[in-house]
Structure 1
């Protein structure tokens, strides 16, 4: 028996529905045919994929491992189809980039513009995700390249140092802290904080730092997007910690003050990551070389 997409899609459908019957229906297979496919696959692999229960099935650890590979295969097939179709349109490549909000705000735009100008035949798509989501997307094949802040959470990635940034503070004008040029994190913990959604690197870092100090983070509001944070700070809803580049821009546009954050962890290290492989696709290698050129000999 060969591994075929119909059987692999059936495994995925059963894992998601927790039912052989519903999985078979979703893949338009007769129940008997679906059961035989799963039985034959288990025999071929020498493992049990599903544990039969009174109200359905439960995937085994072997099944969960197989499902991860199936999802990665789907992503690769989608990329293959998209890239081949684009060749017919005269486009010579498609680069899928996932990056966290800080990297997009502080570092990526001019580099993306320069790369696009140098390689107009390569289409670029960019998705904003948290650092953890970026790493998972690259490791699982849903993105070709990721740009995120340390720490590295997935050893399936190969990384290069990309850029450095800093976190700064926004406070409303006429706030108790607005007459200062810099503040510590302890100073901020006495005030309501406007932050990014849970999972954002800066937000998680502040939670950890507050816990290390035995303090509680007064996260009054959590939103998506630095613009929304700046407007809420201007409205007096709290203070905020965000990357320095957008903080400086907002201080010129909104009725807010930018302050230095006097903490060692305010320095941010952005890295570029790709899935580990013997040879990178040409488009990906060009992008890596453009953003992280090897040192001159």
Structure 2
């Protein structure tokens, strides 16, 4: 028996509906035919995919693993269809990038512009994500390239060092810390902190550092976007830790003061990650070569 799309789609439908009957209906199959497809696939794989219950079925761990691959396959098929159709319009490739907010704010735009100018027939899609989300998107086949800060959470990814960054502090003009050249993180814990939403790498790093000091992070406001953070700091609602590049720009636009963060962990790297494979697709390889020339892959593991 071959692994055909009809059977794989059926497994996905059953997993989502928790019912062989409803899964069969969704895929327009007779119940007997659907049951046979499931049993034949279980026999081929040598595992049980569903546990039969009085009110339906429950997917096993083996089924959940299979479903992850089915979703990845769907994403690949969708990308394949989209890319092939675009050849008729003169497009010769489609690059899907998932990048964390910091890399977009600090270093990615000029590199994207240069790459687009050098490769005008490659269409680029960019999604603003957290570092964890960027890694997951690449690992699951929803993105070709991920840009994120360590740690590496999935050893299916091959990574390169892309750019260096440093975290800095923004405080309102006239704030008690505004006259200081540098502050420690402990100094900031006495104030309300304005940051990105939960899951953002800098936010999680600060939470860990506060816990290591036996303190609580006073995350008064959490928003999406560095510009919103800067405006809230200007309004006097708290202080913020964000990448030095955008922090310096905001200090010239808003009534805020840039202060150095005197912590070793304030220095951090942006990594470029792709799904580990013997040979990268040509479009992906061109992008890696453009952003990380002559930089060997890192052998990082979670």
TM-score (norm 2): 0.96
Residue 83 (structure 2) pairs with residue 88 (structure 1):
no
Which runs of no fewer than 5 residues in structure 1 stay unpaired?
A: none
Q: SS where residue 94 of structure 2 aligns?
A: strand
Deviation of the 1:193 alpha carbon: 0.5
CA 1:151–1:295 in 2, change beyond 3 Å: closer, same or farther?
closer
Deviation of the 1:28 alpha carbon: 2.3
Aligned counterparts of 2:64 and 2:295: Cα–Cα separation in 1 = 41
CA 1:44–1:283 in 2, change beyond 3 Å: closer, same or farther?
same
Aligned counterparts of 1:220 and 1:295: Cα–Cα separation in 2 = 40
Aligned to 2:222: 222
Residue 39 (structure 2) pairs with residue 44 (structure 1):
no
Aligned counterparts of 2:47 and 2:34: Cα–Cα separation in 1 = 17
Name the Cα RMSD after superposition.
1.2
Asked if structure 1 preserves the Cα contact closer than 8 Å seen for 2:172 and 2:233, the reply is yes
Aligned to 1:159: 159
Deviations 1:113-153 (A, max 9, x none): 11111111111110011111111110111100111001111
TM-score (norm 1): 0.97
Deviation of the 1:25 alpha carbon: 2.3
Q: Which moved more, 1:19-28 or 1:161-170?
A: 19-28
Aligned to 1:238: 238
Asked if structure 1 preserves the Cα contact closer than 8 Å seen for 2:160 and 2:295, the reply is no
Residue 31 (structure 2) pairs with residue 25 (structure 1):
no
Q: Which moved more, 1:26-35 or 1:151-160?
A: 26-35
Q: SS where residue 153 of structure 1 aligns?
A: coil
Which runs of no fewer than 5 residues in structure 2 stay unpaired?
A: 297-302
Deviations 1:218-271 (A, max 9, x none): 000111111111111111111111111111111111111111111100111111
Asked if structure 1 preserves the Cα contact closer than 8 Å seen for 2:161 and 2:295, the reply is no
